[in-house]
Each structure stands twice: as C-alpha cells, then as structure tokens.
C-alpha cells in the first residue's frame, strides 16, 4: 500500500503488504484503527507495526512451522521496482494514538491461524446445520 512517509510527510513511502499480524495481533490492529479514527479527522497515515523488519524467508519459515508443513522455496531474480527493504515506522502511531505494537510476529501469526481455524470450523458447523434443516430432494 502506498502511504505517507512518516518522517517527511511526502506520499510514496511503501508500507509492507504483510498481514496485520506481521506486526500485531488482529485485536490490537482493530484497537489501533479505532484509536486512529478517534484521534483525528484529518487523513493521517499510521503504520500499525513494531518497526522491526522481517525477511520474506523468515516469514515463510515461520508460516511453514506454524502450519506444520514443509517449506518449498523457489527463488526468482528481483524484478524492476521490487522493494528490497520495507520497514514501517511506528512513531506516529505511538505519539498520536497512543499505540504500541507488542505482539511478536510468530505469536501474531499463530493467533491469526488459530482464529482462522476457529472460523472455518464455525462455518463448517453452520453449513452442516443448514443442510440438516433444509435437506435437498434426492429424487422422486
């Protein structure tokens, strides 16, 4: 996503497109977004992040570990325009919201995976209930 550079106020700084848990848990992100809405009526940009970088390799290894799967890496040459390093600056959020990300990457990812699994199970259970309540005709 294109964001405003928190140091200079100029557009064009790039923020990582990692999921919110790359910096925080989903709950913490919602709290930060709510605080941002209450803090100002201007369209300020807040980086909801820890300010610590993570390599794509480290992220992939963490996800493979949490998902209990083997990691298969296929490296490709960098493309023109690829961002080599992108680390969000959390200082504006800390100063104006106030907000400070405290969830470690691996913990936030584990929480997100757990919540997604819980939601999947809930949807599956609801689908089963709907199927029992409204059985389809199976023939004449």
Q: What's the confidence (pLDDT) of residue 64?
A: 96
Q: What's the confidence (pLDDT) of residue 111?
A: 94
- Per-residue pLDDT for the chain (140 aa), expressed as one digit of tens each? 334 334 444 444 344 444 444 444 667 777 777 776 666 566 688 888 889 999 989 999 999 999 999 999 999 999 999 988 889 999 998 998 877 888 888 999 999 999 999 999 999 988 888 888 877 744 45
CB contact at 8 A, 87 and 30:
no
Cα angle 106-107-110, degrees, rounded to a multiple of 5: 85
């Amino acid at each position: 996503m294109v964001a405003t550079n928190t140091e200079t106020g100029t557009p064009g700084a790039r923020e990582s497109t990692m999921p919110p848990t790359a910096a925080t848990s989903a709950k913490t992100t919602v709290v930060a977004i709510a605080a941002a809405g209450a803090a100002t009526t201007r369209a300020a940009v807040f980086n909801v992040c820890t300010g610590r970088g993570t390599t794509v390799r480290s992220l992939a290894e963490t996800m493979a570990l949490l998902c209990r799967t083997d990691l298969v890496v296929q490296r490709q040459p960098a493309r023109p325009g690829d961002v080599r390093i992108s680390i969000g600056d959390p200082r504006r959020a800390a100063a104006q919201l106030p907000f400070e990300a405290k969830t470690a990457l691996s913990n936030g990812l584990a929480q997100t995976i757990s919540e997604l699994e819980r939601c999947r199970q809930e949807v599956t259970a609801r689908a089963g209930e709907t199927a029992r309540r409204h059985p389809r005709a199976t023939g004449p």
